Amino acid sequence: MIDLAATLRAERERAGLTLEEISARTKIKVAFLQALERGDFDQLPGNFFARAFLRTYARELHLPADEIIAAYEARSVAVAPEARTQVVAAPPKLSRSMDWSISVPSPHSVWPTLALAIAVLTVLYAIGRRPADVPSTTAAVGTSGVAEAPVSPRSADIATVRPQKLTIEIRASRVMWVAGMADGKRVIYRLVEPEEVVRVEAHQDLWFRVGDAGAFVYSINGSPGKALGASGEVREFRITHDNYRALVE
């Protein structure tokens, strides 16, 4: 990590740029840039953003971004190989002395219980049976004919209000990183530019993670979305048919 960090710092200094200038261009906080140049990746908000920051920083310095990311991932695996090892506990052994005997109830204790069960079922059947002389739920119209009972207004409203799809349109007020999934499938995993409009549809749910909540501008099914957080804050959220109305204005 030290060689990778030293490369970033040396290239920035060779270009005659300060950390503040790089921050203004990339929208990455100065503290995160300092962590990149020290190789102190534990100070970043996870591997996902570490890779995103490295790629953006490398492109700004005209370095090969793919090689920088590959070097970071190779060093990460080398530093913590134990993270790939999963310890699985062996299942407990059954004791040979375990008692597997089955007790059979005596006939004297079974018959009272069976009789009670038959009595309960008889009562339930009598209650649930519909008498033959009970009139139908249909109501007479005029002097002849019948009309079906009206459908509940609440049921009709729910059927018309619930949308068949969830549609989100994303705009960025400045460059920001967005990762998103629709119905469990990844649909976006990159930086979004201010002039872009990203439109995503789903039948069940949408999931997003944004690197700059203050720059995330969106609408759901045509309604403007509420602010998710302040500038520079990382936010993760899920949109469903049940909760999307709480996210719009």
Q: pLDDT tens for residues 181-220?
A: 899 999 998 888 888 999 999 999 988 988 888 889 999 9
Who contacts 209 (Cβ-Cβ below 8 Å, separation ≥6)? 48, 178, 179, 180, 234, 235, 236
Q: How confident is the model at residue 53 (pLDDT cuts 50, 70, 90)?
A: very high
Order of strands across the sheet that contains 176-182: 185-192, 176-182, 205-210, 235-240
Q: How far is CA 58 from CA 8, 35, 36, in A?
A: 7, 15, 11
Decide if pLDDT at 86 tops 50. no
Mean pLDDT of 39-50: 89
CA–CA gap between residue 39 and residue 3 (Å, rounded): 8
> How does pLDDT run across 112-171, given as a tens digit for each residue?
566 666 766 665 665 555 544 444 444 444 444 444 445 444 544 544 467 789 899 999
pLDDT at 124: 63
The pLDDT, as a whole number, for residue 144 is 44
Angstrom distance (rounded) from CA 117 to CA 2: 77
* 85: its two tokens: 């090892």
DSSP lists the bridge partners of residue 207 as 181, 238
Residues 68, 41 contacting (CB under 8 angstroms): no
| The residue to which tokens 């030293």 are assigned | 6
pLDDT score at 1: 55
Take residue 162 and report the two structure tokens written for it: 């619930």
User: CB-based contacts of 170: which residues, under 8 Å, 6+ apart?
Assistant: 178, 192, 197, 198, 199, 200, 216, 217, 218
Helix ranges restricted to H, the chain: 2-14, 19-26, 30-38, 47-60, 65-79, 107-128, 153-161
